[in-house]
Amino acid sequence: MLTLIRTHGDFRVLWTARTASFLGDSLSLVALLLHVADRTGQAVAVAALLVFGEVLPALLAPAAGALSDRFDPRRIMIGCELVQAALTVLIALWLPGLPVLLALVAARALAAQAFAPASRTAVGALVEGPRLPVANAAVGLGTNGAEALGPLVAAALLPWLGIRGVLVVDAATFLVSAVLLCRLPALRHADTGAGADGSKDSVWAGLAYLRRARIARAAVLGTFVVIACNGIDDVALVFLTQRDLGGGDAAVAVLLSAVGLGLLAGYWLLGRLTGARAGVSMAVLMVGGFAVSSAGNLLTGLSWAVAVAFGLQAIRGVGIAAMDVGATTLLQRHVPAQLQGRVFGAFYGCIGLAAGLSYLGGALLLDATSPRTTFLVAGAAGLVASVVTAVSLRRPRPAS
């Protein structure tokens, strides 16, 4: 993984830009959460910030992804970073009331939604096929590492810079990313090819492709269902720790860090494994990630101590890394270049929608039953989805 970053100049530029951008995002998320909590004192306001920043923009992700099929992904990424920088500076200078703040956060998140499929398309354009798993593992390690480091950096900067200062630092990371991305070569590849509806720029062309393409459909729908089943784990962990495992706030914090540590370990391990064994099946890796992440939640519901739950959640993090690398590489390898932006847009849109559905449905299940039951149901449903995805990926037998 490090060899690819060190020797592949264009990929190194993209990797550094994404990592810097994600670090800034995590800084501003902490700052805005604290700002909203202090100004309103209402949990619903904090939840609204997360919904407007994550769930609602995901509904427009397929349309945002279509931009990468119509224009040069490099220009899309640069434009998205500049838009996010400008909006972040505006928020920092103004710090408006909640309704306007939510609108600005949603607009910034929409730019981030357009950036995501463009960057994944760019990875496929910059890195040759056999090295795509290593590249995707490196991207995951960089972005998740930045997200894990962000709150710690925010904690160090907030006493010195305050909310506005941290937001300005976030805006600077967007500008640094945009400057770096200017060094990439032109990546436009969508000059030919039409969708199923005859329009190469149509959002529906990407959805029509997913409807008929078995491998891409399995990757997108499988990821959607598994996240919808398991996305409640962070909320359920708080109650499991306090009610069933007898842990306090420190134990909650430790358990919540387990998945992040597992993710970092998983991306690092996958970077080495897929680099040493180019023949690793991405379909097996993806489905295995579905199963491991789901089994981690199911077994967490049976855990009897904080240490046991920590180990299981760390293993779950490794599974999430595997499903991310497997699904992303499958889409990069199997989706035609002129449709990748729309397909990745749909992919990230499904992830955001699944997270929202999981928060809602999981919270209702948690209130109606118990933390242990919630983990057992979520994990079991995810395992069923893993099996269904594995069956759907089996090559159809030739007619006799």
Residue 143 has a pLDDT of 92
Give the pLDDT score at 189. 52
List where CATH 1.20.1250.20 sits in the chain: 1-186, 202-393
- Kindly state which CATH superfamily the domain 1-186 is placed in: MFS general substrate transporter like domains (1.20.1250.20)
List the structure tokens of 76. 């899309």
Q: How many CB atoms lie within 10 A of CB 265?
A: 16
Three-state secondary structure call for residue 184: coil
The pLDDT value given to residue 399: 44
67 CB neighbour count, 10 Å cutoff: 22
Residues of the chain with pLDDT under 50: 190-199, 276, 397-400
* pLDDT, tens digit, 9 for 90 and up, residues 321-343: 999 999 999 999 999 988 999 99
Taking the C-alpha atoms of residue 97 and residue 101, their distance in angstroms, rounded to an integer, is: 6
pLDDT of residue 201: 55
Largest Cα separation within the chain, whole Å, is 73
375-393, pLDDT tens digit by residue? 999 999 999 999 999 999 8
* Per-residue confidence (pLDDT) for residue 8, from 0 to 100: 92
Cβ(181)–Cβ(13) below 8 Å: yes
Write down the pLDDT at residue 40: 84
What does the alpha-carbon distance between residue 109 and residue 243 come to, in Å, rounded to a whole number?
35
Model pLDDT for residues 174-214, shown as the tens digit of each residue? 999 999 999 999 986 544 444 434 445 577 888 889 989 99
Going by C-beta distance under 8 Å and a sequence separation of 6 or more, which residues neighbour residue 381? 229, 294
End-to-end CA distance of the chain: 45
How far is C-alpha 310 from the geometric centre of its chain's CA atoms?
A: 22
**Conformation bin of residue 162: beta by default, left when phi > 0, alpha when psi is -120 to 50:** left
Q: How far is CA 119 from CA 9, 69, 194, 344, 347, in A?
A: 16, 12, 22, 10, 13
For the chain, what percent of residues have pLDDT higher than 90? 55
Provide the CATH topology of domain 202-393.
Growth Hormone; Chain: A; (1.20.1250)
The CA distance from 285 to 273, in Å, is 11
- Which two three-digit tokens encode residue 393? 């990926």
Q: Which tokens belong to 174?
A: 């967007």
Question: How wide is the angle at C-alpha 343 spanned by C-alphas 341 and 347, nearest 5°?
Answer: 115
CA–CA separation, 281 and 193 (whole Å): 28
CB 205 within 8 A of CB 197: yes
- Helices H / strands E in the chain, number of each: 16, 0
Instruction: Round to whole Å and give the CA distance between 17 and 180.
Output: 6
Q: Is 191 helix (H, G, I), strand (E, B) or coil?
A: coil
Q: Say if residues 19 and 143 touch (Cβ distance below 8 Å).
A: yes
pLDDT at 395: 64
Q: What pTM value is reported for the model? A: 0.86
User: Percent helix, strand and coil across the chain, each rounded to 5?
Assistant: 85, 0, 15
